[in-house]
Amino acid sequence: MICVNKGLLSVSAVFLFVAMLWGQVSQPNVIHALRINESIKIDGLLSEPVWQQAEHISNFTQRELNEGAPATERTEVAILYDQDNLYIGVWCYDSEPDKLIAKKMSRDFRWNGEDNFEIIIDTFGDRRNGFLFVTNPNGARADALVLENGRQINKDWDGVWTVKTRVTEQGWFAEFWIPLSTLRFSSAREQVWGINFERNIRRKREQVMWQGWSRDSDLEQVARAGKLVGLTGISSVKLVEFKPYGITGFESRQETATRGVGDLGGDLNYLITPTMKLNLTVNTDFAQVESDRVRINLTRFSLFYPEKREFFLEGRNYFDFGMGHAIQPFYTRRIGLAPDRSEIPIIAGARLLGKTGRTTLGGMSIQTAAKGDFPSTNYTVLRWKQDIWSESTVGLIGVSKIEPQRQNVVYGTDFLYSTTEFLGDKNLQVGGAFAQSYTSDAESKFGESHRLFISYPSDLVEFDAVWSRVSKDFNPETGFLYRRNYQMLYSELQFNPRPKFLPWIRRLVFKPLDFNYYFDDVTHRLQTFKSEFRPLGFSTKSGEFYEFNIQRTAENLTQDFPIHEGVTIPRGEYWFTHYEIQAATFSGIPLFGYGSVNWGNFYNGKRTQIFSRVVWRLNKHFSLSGDYIRNDIRLPGGNFVVNEFGSRLEFAVNPDLFGSLFGQWNNDDKEILINFRLNWIPTPGTNFYFVVNQSFDTGGGLWSATNTTVLTKLIWRFVL
């Protein structure tokens, strides 16, 4: 009898283990789309009879706070389609709809602190890439392109789609309209797409998903998505899209008279196939409607500024290369911008983006005009990626900068092995890249860069390791390098237990290992060493987090380092220790904040760094935030304090009319920079902007207006 019981226990344990491995698949894991011949009014009411005729799925499971438990509020989804459009209906029932948290209403809103509903669609069924669409009870819209199973996310992509929502005594409801021309998919008559859904109920800190609800997964991992079937006869999608733009306004600078500014140009987009898009541009619109955040650089290395110009945002992910953030063979801010970030005119350009079968292609060529010391230059990039196995890729890249009598070229190859089935259902990624540069007029014409990495991100244990190298002659002039002539070793190990005996703790965080070791590629001498030990960190079930870190740093200065005006650190090798505390409140409440303090040794002196940010979400129409950074540095060569302030007022009349007022100041430049932006979307794909940039010199104690720019910009969309 005992033997039988032991046998039953063993069999039960095996079945339990298998159930845990496959537990994030909830049946049904297939949703059928219903083809319709009638028009749908997008109003959030979901009142047409076809919405009830379509199949509804409702089997959502908690990822947070109680992994594997049923959702506490019912959620249903149904999908319709016709020859040109996809419609997704969502029923978010709620027992306490008056407690919904929804304070955002503008396009591309930050949805992390909101009640929201998210959809990801893998139109190629390749278990790698997807289109992400997000809304909240106010009807705010956000979207993104997801690549490499969530490893890369391009939130700057703006698709043509819309959603309307309604809040009633039963909950909140959403009606999505997504033109098929916004998506990319194969030419097969019968489509099978990956699809998944996520709902966040913020007051409960509850996150529920249709499929892939394990804490080792997330929505962006499309390899764990369910299936969308029933789509037939939609392979004939064609699109010719013309997007002209016009800019008019005036500019006044302290040293010059006021002058009018204006420009015209446009883009022609042709969907060659449902998967391949050609973009032609003339007198390209590179006007930036949002100001860069000015940063004070207290390091010896380059600062990275993100791309904000619309033309480059849509397809930038096609040209990402496996070298990581610090080594980029292609960096779009090298095109059309001088080193001081002044504009260099663009004559014309062409771009081809898309996917055919298991092959992803990206190509772009831009010709800039001559301006001052900068000759007319051609910038071209070509990118090829091939899907291999179930979730992995290999690829090639080529980047050229061609000037009269001079050429700079970078070419390379990368690979990524990715699986969501490591040790059953864990994630593992292993990858690498090699690139070489050629500069025609350099003494050493060739230079190389390499990178290898491994990443094991799981809920309980996180481990990463990287080796990268940049030779002293590697010269990607259309790229970005954080530093030159180095090799770098990096590794991080972190444990994230969820103790049940502490009922108010969501997760503890212990980090015994985290270091970056840079050494000279030629002499192999130390350049920089940074390490962090986290004896304690935690997040609470009510949404707060705290961490304490001990950091050890080394810098080997091969020459004197002028860190600030009148203050220089002598060359030499420095080792120093500093400490850090970080804390934040739950971002779903109307008034929340984040703060950190870092103090200790700094080279041959001391530094205390304070950072704080406070956000006050008054209602869905107004949000006010402010941040402050203070660096108090005391060195034998002199003492100085750097203060940086920033503040932003965001407003929204409705999801199609919104804007912001952003101001910044620091005591180094002693200049206030103000950016006002109003954005109106009369129809999906069309944008009107009104922008004011104003600067004030505060060096004399009084505000003195220096530079003023006032612009109106209209981008209209015509489908031919």
Domain ranges in the chain are: 2-232
**At residue 325, what is the residue type?**
H
Return d(Cα 623, Cα 646) in angstroms, integer: 14
Bin 127: left if φ > 0, else alpha if -120 < ψ < 50, else beta: left
According to the model, what pLDDT value does residue 201 have? 98
Q: Which residue has the higher pLDDT, 234 or 134?
A: 134
Return d(Cα 71, Cα 60) in angstroms, integer: 6
According to the model, what pLDDT value does residue 702 have? 81
Return d(Cα 23, Cα 223) in angstroms, integer: 15
pLDDT tens string 85-122:
999 999 999 999 999 999 999 999 999 989 999 999 99
pLDDT exceeds 50 at position 23: no
According to the model, what pLDDT value does residue 236 have? 64
Of 478, 480, 239, whose CA–CA distance to 365 is shortest? Answer: 478
According to the model, what pLDDT value does residue 339 have? 84
Of 237, 25, 223, 226, whose CA–CA distance to 129 is shortest? Answer: 223
2-232 fold: Immunoglobulin-like (2.60.40)
pLDDT tens string 549-565:
999 999 999 999 999 99
Kindly indicate the confidence band of residue 289, based on its pLDDT and cuts at 50, 70 and 90.
low
Kindly indicate the confidence band of residue 4, based on its pLDDT and cuts at 50, 70 and 90.
very low
With a pLDDT cut of 70, the percent of the chain lying above it is 95
With a pLDDT cut of 90, the percent of the chain lying above it is 83
User: Measured between alpha carbons, how far is residue 650 from residues 106, 564, 615, 660, 662 in Å?
Assistant: 9, 34, 11, 4, 8
DSSP secondary structure of 276-293: EEEEEEES-----SSPPP
**Could you give phi then psi for residue 487, rounded to 5 degrees?**
-120, 150
State the average pLDDT over residues 648-671: 96
Kindly indicate the confidence band of residue 9, based on its pLDDT and cuts at 50, 70 and 90.
very low
Strand 141-147 vs strand 130-135: parallel, antiparallel, or unpaired? Answer: antiparallel
CA 147, 153, 156, 160 dihedral sign is positive
pLDDT exceeds 80 at position 451: yes
State the average pLDDT over residues 120-149: 95
**At residue 305, what is the residue type?**
Y
According to the model, what pLDDT value does residue 287 have? 60
* Contacts of range 518-526, beta carbons closer than 8 Å, 24 or more positions apart: 518/483, 518/486, 518/487, 518/488, 519/486, 519/487, 520/485, 520/486, 521/469, 521/470, 521/471, 521/472, 521/485, 521/486, 521/487, 522/472, 522/485, 524/487, 525/556, 526/554, 526/556, 526/573
Of 257, 269, 124, whose CA–CA distance to 192 is shortest? Answer: 124
Kindly indicate the confidence band of residue 296, based on its pLDDT and cuts at 50, 70 and 90.
confident
pLDDT tens string 323-358:
999 999 999 989 988 887 788 988 999 999 999 989
According to the model, what pLDDT value does residue 438 have? 98
| 3-class secondary structure, 459 | coil
pLDDT exceeds 80 at position 431: yes
Pseudo-torsion of CA 614, 619, 622, 623, nearest 10°? 10
Kindly indicate the confidence band of residue 273, based on its pLDDT and cuts at 50, 70 and 90.
confident
pLDDT tens string 510-540:
999 999 999 999 999 999 999 999 999 999 9
pLDDT exceeds 90 at position 156: no
pLDDT exceeds 80 at position 697: yes
According to the model, what pLDDT value does residue 283 have? 86
Return d(Cα 57, Cα 81) in angstroms, integer: 16
Could you give the maximum distance between any two Cα atoms of the chain, in Å? 99
* Continuous segment of H or E residues that includes residue 130: strand 130-135
Pseudo-torsion of CA 599, 600, 605, 611, nearest 10°? -10
Return d(Cα 522, Cα 244) in angstroms, integer: 51
